[in-house]
Structure 1
C-alpha cells in the first residue's frame, strides 16, 4: 500500500506552497483530472525514455524558463534537480542567467527557450532549424517545444495559486447568476490587426507522424484529444511524444469542458485574451468562434482584437480580461489585489482558478502553434501576421 510519505511530490503544491488541509489545496482538488494531468505532464516532460535531448538539457531549459519568468520557487526546484543529476556547474550558471553557455548545443537550447518564453510571436522556421542544426531529431524538437510550452503553463498555474493564497479567505461563496443580456454580434468575418474569427488551418515546420506508421501509444494519445485529432497535422506533430500529448489532452479537456465552475464561454474568453496578447492568430480564431457559439455574441471579441486594455462589455468581463492579461504577460506580478478585483466583480475562487487554468493552458498552446508551424487559410495561403 502506498503511504503519503511515498507519494511523488506534486510540483505545483510544492512551489506555491500548498499543504493537505489548506483550503486552497482542497479547492485545487475539486478539479482532480487537472491536478493529475499537470503532474503527469511534468513526469512526461522529464522522462528518461525521451531520446534525442537529455534529462539534464531539459532541466537546463526549465531553469532558464523559470528564471526568465521570475518564478523563483520553480527555479529552485529545477536547480535542485540539476544538482541531483550532477550537472556541470558552468552550464547551470548559464541557465541561471549568470553567463553565456560555452556548450554550443546548450546555448542553442537556451536561445530557443528565451524566444518562446519572452516573445513567442517571434518564433519562426529558422529557430526550429537551429535545433535541427544542433543535432535534435524531429521527436526531440517536439519534446523541447512541448517542454517550454508546458513550463509557461506551470509558471502561470503557480502564480495564480500564489495570488489566491495571498488574497486569503473571502469572496463570494456561490457563483453569481449569469448576466441576462443579449449583447451584439458583428457580421463575420471579423478581421482586425491580423486577428480573425474565420476558420483557419495550420501547417507544421517539422514532419508530423504518418498515421500508417503510428504506434498504438500515438494513436491512443490522438484519440484522447478528440476523434478528429488524427486528421490534424498539429496533433500528429505532437504525437511524436505520445505521453506528453496524452497528458496535455487530458488537461485540455478537463480545463475547457469540465462542468460547473466558471461558465465555458468565460473560459473561452480567457483563452482568447491570452492568444490575442501572444499574437497567436490560429488559437485566437478558434476560441473566438467558440466564445461566439456559447455566448451568442461577439462584441467583446471585436473589442479584444482592437484593444485588450479596454475590452469588456460589463464589469465582470472587464475584470476577466484584465486578470487574464496580467497573468499572461507578467505572471510574477500577479497578486492578491488581482484576485480581489475578480471577487469584487462576483467571481468565486473556484471560478478564478478555472480562469487561471484556461489562461495558463493557452500560454502552453500558443507557444506550440507559434513556434512549430504557422497558420494558413483553407486555400493554403499564409494567414496575416498578428499586429500586437
Structure 2
C-alpha cells in the first residue's frame, strides 16, 4: 500500500503519475527520448540498461517492467535479460553492452563513482560518446525513477508475466500513451 493516498490502485510508477499528471508528462517525455527515440543502441539494449539499474536498486516494479520491455525487444528474450541483470560479465550480450552496463552500475553507485577506466573500456568495446552519454543519463534517470516508485511505497504486480501485456502496450503506444491513453 502506498505511503500516501494516490487516489488510484495503479501499480508502480503509474500510480504516482496518475496522481500528478503534470509531472508525468515531462518524465514520460524524457523516458520516451531515452528509451524509444532513434539511437545507435537498440530499444532493447536501452531497456536492458534501465532494467539492470533498477534491479541493482532493488526496485521490483521498474526492474520487472523494463526487464519485460527488454525481453520483448532483444533476440535472447527473458533469458538474456535475466543473465545480464544477474551477471553481465558472462551474459549473452555484446562486449560493448557489457562495458556500458559496467558504466551504468557505476552511475548507480554515484556520479563520481564513474571511472575514466570504465569510460575507456566502453570506448575500446566500440561505444560512441553518444552511447556513453545516453547510458549515463538512462542510469541516472532510473535511479530517480526507482526512488520515486519505492519512496512512495507503490505496489508491484504479483507475477513477472503480468508485466508482459504492459510492456507490449508501451512498445505500441510509448510511455506517455500508457498514462494519457494517447500515443507519444
> Could you state the TM-score of these two structures normalised by the residue count of structure 1?
0.37
- Partner of residue 158, structure 2: 377
Distance 1:336 1:364, change over 3 A: same
Aligned length: 155
Match of 1:326 among 103, 106, 113: 106
Report the CA distance between 1:244 and its aligned residue.
2.2
Task: Indicate the structure (1 or 2) with the bigger Cα radius of gyration.
Answer: 1
Alignment partner of 1:257 out of 26, 36, 40:
36
User: Which protein has greater RCO, CA pairs closer than 8 Å, 6+ apart?
Assistant: 2
Structure 1 counterpart of 2:71, from 292, 304, 310: 292
The verdict on how the C-alpha distance between 1:244 and 1:296 changes in structure 2, with shifts beyond 3 A counting, is same
Give runs of aligned pairs for residues 1-388 of structure 1, distance below 5 A: 204-209=2-7, 232=10, 234-297=13-76, 298-307=78-87, 310-313=89-92, 314-372=94-152, 373-377=154-158
**SS of the counterpart of 2:134?**
helix
The separation in 2 between residues aligned to 1:237 and 1:329, in whole angstroms, is 25
Change (3 A) 1:334 1:293: same
User: How far apart, in 2, do the equivalents of 1:242 and 1:254 lie?
Assistant: 18
Structure 1: runs of 5+ lacking an equivalent: 1-202, 211-230, 379-388
With structure 2 as the length reference, what TM-score do the two structures score?
A: 0.73
Q: Which runs of 5+ in 2 are unaligned?
A: 160-184
Alignment RMSD, CA only?
2.3
| TM-superposed deviation, 1:347 | 1.0
